[in-house]
A and B are shown apart, each in its own frame.
Chain A
């Protein structure tokens, strides 16, 4: 089955800790995206990548980092610099205008 997988479903972060969220797609899409969802805020773009080994900051990139070493994978690291990381994180991919979303990872702070 083609699709986007995200892991883990729930992730807990301690103060001062970096954590990495996984996103994998087997749709052969060139572009991948990370969004943050907060209650009542809609989705906001963190980072996006149009091609392997290239990525750009979105609207709220501070405190986050990404890599794109393989077409299928676009991991997101939430660094200790992100002071309010509690949110639902969604990964998406596209080969044109339409984006397809993964099931999401909920990040909670201990």
Chain B
């Protein structure tokens, strides 16, 4: 079946540190891949996405590259800020399902300290 595996958190970084959150997936076909962010007590916001191999999604200084050969979509940011503290979810769209059903990873909580 389809699944998403994220690195376990929580992750604690100092401000201006480099961030990597690992995400790997299992899927039949060629899924589209997403990163969503959830701030405390809120719903999810789309952070970035990539729809085919070697695509790079980017937004607000975050980047992730769709790597088909390693079935990965790792999230990176060069210099994190306190305001980046949130839970980050990697997700894929199940291909060929006839509807756009997201499969989520369990989420990685990031805390950035001043």
Interface size bucket, A side?
A: 20 to 34
Interface-facing stretch out of A13-21, A41-49, A60-68, A72-80: A41-49
* CB neighbours of A90 from chain B (8 A): 43-44
B102 within 8 A of A: yes
**Complex contact A42–B107 (CB within 8 A):** yes
Which chain A residues (26-61) contact chain B, with CB distance < 8 Å? 31, 33, 40-45, 48, 50, 56, 58
Q: Choose among B89, B102, B105 the residue that contacts A45 (Cβ–Cβ < 8 A).
A: B102
**Complex contact B107–A96 (CB within 8 A):** no
**Complex contact B106–A56 (CB within 8 A):** no
* CB neighbours of B44 from chain A (8 A): 43, 90, 92, 101
* CB neighbours of A6 from chain B (8 A): 43
A31, B99: Cα distance in complex, Å: 9
**Complex contact B42–A104 (CB within 8 A):** yes
Known: A90-B44, A104-B42. A99 touches B104 (CB 8 A): no
Which chain B residues (27-79) contact chain A, with CB distance < 8 Å? 32, 34, 36, 41-46, 49, 51
**Complex contact A43–B104 (CB within 8 A):** yes
Q: Which B residue's beta carbon lies closest to that of A106?
A: B41
**Complex contact B107–A104 (CB within 8 A):** no
A103 within 8 A of B: yes
Known: A40-B106, A42-B106. A99 touches B100 (CB 8 A): yes
Which residues of B approach A to under 8 Å, CB–CB? Answer: 32, 34, 36, 41-46, 49, 51, 89, 93, 99-102, 104-107
Which residues of A approach B to under 8 Å, CB–CB? Answer: 4, 6, 31, 33, 40-45, 48, 50, 56, 58, 90, 92, 94, 96-104
